[in-house]
Amino acid sequence: MPELPEVESLRRILAHSIVGRTIVGASVADPRLRRAVAADLATSIAGGAITGVQRRAKYLLIELHDERLLMVHLGMSGSLTHRHAALDAAGFDPRHDHVSFRLDDGSALVFNDPRRFGLMKLIARAELAAIAELAAIGPEPFAREFDAAYLWKVTRGRATAIKNLLMDQRTVAGVGNIYASEILFRARVRPTRRAGKVTRAELARIATITRQVLREAIGGGGTTFRSYRDSRGQPGRYAKRLQVYDREGQPCGACGAAIRAVVVGQRSSFFCPKCQK
């Protein structure tokens, strides 16, 4: 489910709700995620005081007082909800609540992931840069270095579709299937265009618009297409503002032509055949 805006929305909420709390205990009901949750996670994390919540690409990094970080990826269907015990025997999902952290105020932080494509592990801050999942990830879209010149450099000579490259985390961090279609629509570039053939002016638009779309989506609390919920169980409000994603056959808001769907790199993609070249 989550791309950068969803993870960032989650981060902002958690930064208010769990920083200052201490993890007093944890339990792993099912360790079988994308990679198995370490057997000692529950015992190792107990006593950890939460000092901050950061994000890198689509990874959430929960900082502990002892220079360790709990690294969480939500995969396709994961969620991290902050539950207040009194409210909530009802919200318990025995099938997919895989990992729970008990906090010192009686609340719980629960990782739920039906498809189990997610990831959860405890790492030392010092090894952050060397973590395999993060090492090859490209610049954050809001970083200075992500600009037209950078995109020019990484797209030249590349035969793959521009949408594939935009979704490749090595190119830029955090863009996934929904926002890639939205960005290319606003930049007026077809998702199928060979990356090496995209012009300098178009790349400049893509860089600017990537930031714009992601910023707006964060402002809307992210997009709920099917199942995304934030840590309070709320859906994102940005879905109603999507202009092409999942809108095959509907009129383009700019020109009225019917939105088309194509498969690019095995992912469904949407575009306006008239506005996007």
| Burial profile 63-84: b = 16 or more Cβ within 10 angstroms, e = fewer | bbeeebbbbbbbbebbbbbbbe
Interacting span for DNA (CB under 7 A) from 11-19, 44-52, 143-151, 173-181: 173-181
Minimum CB distance to DNA, residue 3 (Å): 4
From residue 179 to residue 208, the character string flagging contacts with DNA as x (rule: CB under 7 A) and all else as - is ------------------------------
Under rule CB under 7 A, residue 54 binds DNA: no
Choosing from 3, 8, 63, 133, the catalytic residue is 3
227 lies in the site for DNA, by CB under 7 A: yes
Active-site residue, selected from the candidate residues 158, 237, 267, 274:
267
127 has catalytic annotation = no
Catalytic, out of 21, 55, 58, 247: 58
- Identify the residue among 36, 147, 225, 273 touching DNA (CB under 7 A): 225
Q: Can 267 be counted among the known catalytic residues?
A: yes
Active site residue 277: no
Total number of residues binding DNA (CB under 7 A)? Answer: 39
Stretch that binds DNA, among 9-17, 60-68, 75-83, 139-147 (CB under 7 A): 75-83
Is 202 noted as a catalytic residue in this protein? no
Residues paired with residue 81 on neighbouring β-strands, in sequence order:
110
Just list the catalytic residues.
Answer: 2-3, 58, 267
Question: Which residues contact DNA by CB under 7 A?
Answer: 1-3, 32, 34, 57-58, 73, 75-77, 95-96, 114-117, 132-133, 158-161, 164, 167, 169, 176-178, 223-228, 265-268
